[in-house]
Structure 1
Amino acid sequence: GEIDVRDSGTATTGLARGAAVTASESNTVRKTWEPALAVDGLPNSALQTAAGYASAAHTGPDVSDAPITLTLDLKTAKTFDEVALYPRADVLTDDGRIPGLPVDYTVSAADSAEGPATRLAEVTGQRQPTPYLPAGLPLLTDDFTLPKRVRSARLYIAGLGVYEATVNGEPVGDAVLEPANTDYAERVQYATYDVTDQLRTGANTLGVGLGNGMSNVVSTADRYRKLYGNLSDPKLIARLEVTLADGRVRTITSGDDWRTTLGPTTASNWYGGEDYDARREIPRWDRPSGDRRGWRHAVEVAGPGTAGRPALLSARETEPIRVVETLKGKEVDGAEGSRVFDLGRNIAGWPEITVSAPKGTPIRVYPAESLKDGHAFQSISNVGAPLWDSYTTGGRDAETWHPRFSYHGFRYLELRGVPENATVSVRGHVLHTDNTPAGDFTSSDPLINGIHSLIRRSIEGNMMSVLTDCPSREKLGWLEQNQLVFPALAGNYDMRSYLRKIVRDMADAQTTDGLVPSTVPEYTSLPGAYRNDANWGGAFVLVPWQLYLTYGDRQTLETYYPDMRRYAAFLETQVADGILDYGLGDWFTPDRTFPRAVAGTYGYWRVVDTL
Structure 2
Amino acid sequence: MRKSINLLLSVVLVVTLWVPVTDIAFGATDEKIEVIDLRAEYTDNPLGIDVTKPRLSWKLQADERGQTQTAYQIQVASSESELLNDNPDMWDTGKVESDQSVNVAYEGEPLESGKRYYWRVKVWDKHGSSSEWSDPAWWEMGLLEESDWQAEWIGKGEAPDESEDNASSSSSEPLFRKDFTIDKPIKRARLYSTALGVYEPYINGERVGEDIFAPGWTDYHQRIQYQTYDVTELLQTGENAIGAMLGDGWYAGHVGLAGRHVYGEKPHLLMQLEIDYEDGTSETVATDGSWKWATGPIVSSDMLMGETYDARKEIPGWNAPDFDDADWSEVDVLEEGVSGELVAQAGPTVQVTEEIEPVEITEPEPGTYVFDLGQNMVGNVRLKVSGEAGETITLRHAEVLNPDGTIYTANLRSAKATDHYTLKGEGEEIYEPHFTFHGFRYVEVTGYSGEPTKDMITGRVMHTAAPFSGHFETSNDMLNQLQSNIRWGQRGNFLSIPTDTPARDERLGWTGDINVFVGAATFNMDVTRFLGSKWLQDLRDAQSENGAYPDVAPDVCCGEGNAGWGMLVSRFRTRYGNGTATPE
TM more than 0.5: yes
5+ long unaligned stretches in structure 2: 1-161
1:460 aligned to which of 491, 513, 516: 491
Task: Name the aligned partner's letter for residue 454 of structure 1.
Answer: N
- Shift of the alpha carbon at 1:375? 2.4
If each structure's strand is expressed as a fraction of its own residues, which one has the higher value?
Answer: 2
Misfit runs of 4+, over 3 Å: 94-97, 302-305, 382-387, 420-424
Deviation per residue, 1:275-321 (Å, 9 max, x gap): 0000000010000032211001212104775xxxx110010021111
Matches within 5 A, 1:496-575: 496-500=528-532, 501-523=534-556, 525-526=557-558, 531-532=559-560, 534-536=562-564, 539=565, 541-557=566-582, 560=583, 563=584
Higher relative contact order structure (alpha carbons within 8 Å, sequence separation ≥ 6)? 2
1:290 aligned to which of 304, 323, 326: 323
CA contact (8 A) 2:189 2:274 kept: yes
Task: Answer yes or no: is 1:252 the counterpart of 2:314.
Answer: no
Task: Give the match for residue 270 of structure 1.
Answer: 303
- Residues 555 and 353 of structure 1: is their aligned pair in 2 closer, same or farther, counting only changes over 3 Å? closer
CA distance in 1 between counterparts of 2:490 and 2:581 reads 23
2:478 aligned to which of 441, 444, 447: 447
Matches within 5 A, 1:331-480: 331-372=361-402, 373-379=404-410, 381-382=411-412, 384-420=414-450, 425-473=456-504, 474-480=506-512
CA distance in 2 between counterparts of 1:255 and 1:186 reads 23
CA distance in 2 between counterparts of 1:287 and 1:259 reads 14
Instruction: Tell me the secondary structure at the aligned position of residue 469 of structure 1.
Output: coil
CA distance in 2 between counterparts of 1:304 and 1:482 reads 34
- Shift of the alpha carbon at 1:183? 0.4
CA distance in 1 between counterparts of 2:464 and 2:378 reads 11
Task: Answer yes or no: is 1:229 the counterpart of 2:261.
Answer: yes
Task: Give the match for residue 357 of structure 2.
Answer: 328
- Residues 374 and 289 of structure 1: is their aligned pair in 2 closer, same or farther, counting only changes over 3 Å? farther
CA contact (8 A) 2:304 2:416 kept: no
RMSD: 2.2
CA contact (8 A) 2:378 2:492 kept: yes
Instruction: Tell me the secondary structure at the aligned position of residue 574 of structure 2.
Output: helix
- Residues 201 and 255 of structure 1: is their aligned pair in 2 closer, same or farther, counting only changes over 3 Å? same
CA contact (8 A) 2:549 2:563 kept: no
- Residues 349 and 493 of structure 1: is their aligned pair in 2 closer, same or farther, counting only changes over 3 Å? same
Q: How many residues align?
A: 414
Task: Name the aligned partner's letter for residue 357 of structure 1.
Answer: G
- Shift of the alpha carbon at 1:197? 0.4
- Shift of the alpha carbon at 1:137? 0.4
Task: Give the match for residue 68 of structure 2.
Answer: none
CA contact (8 A) 1:225 1:271 kept: no
1:139 aligned to which of 169, 172, 175: 175
Instruction: Compute the TM-score of the two structures, normalised by the length of structure 1.
Output: 0.65
Question: Percent same amino acid among aligned pairs?
Answer: 33
Q: Which moved more, 1:416-425 or 1:496-505?
A: 416-425
CA contact (8 A) 2:210 2:351 kept: yes
- Shift of the alpha carbon at 1:160? 2.1
Matches within 5 A, 1:69-88: none
Instruction: Compute the TM-score of the two structures, normalised by the length of structure 2.
Output: 0.68
CA distance in 2 between counterparts of 1:140 and 1:388 reads 26
- Shift of the alpha carbon at 1:193? 0.3
- Shift of the alpha carbon at 1:436? 1.3
- Residues 438 and 512 of structure 1: is their aligned pair in 2 closer, same or farther, counting only changes over 3 Å? same
Task: Name the aligned partner's letter for residue 426 of structure 1.
Answer: I
Matches within 5 A, 1:13-412: 134-217=170-253, 227-232=259-264, 233-302=266-335, 305=338, 310-329=339-358, 330-372=360-402, 373-379=404-410, 381-382=411-412, 384-412=414-442
Deviation per residue, 1:303-359 (Å, 9 max, x gap): 775xxxx11001002111110001112422332121211111110001221110100
CA distance in 2 between counterparts of 1:436 and 1:304 reads 36
- Residues 485 and 502 of structure 1: is their aligned pair in 2 closer, same or farther, counting only changes over 3 Å? same
CA distance in 2 between counterparts of 1:328 and 1:508 reads 41
Instruction: Tell me the secondary structure at the aligned position of residue 332 of structure 2.
Output: coil
Instruction: Tell me the secondary structure at the aligned position of residue 491 of structure 2.
Output: helix
CA contact (8 A) 1:225 1:384 kept: no
Instruction: Tell me the secondary structure at the aligned position of residue 175 of structure 2.
Output: strand
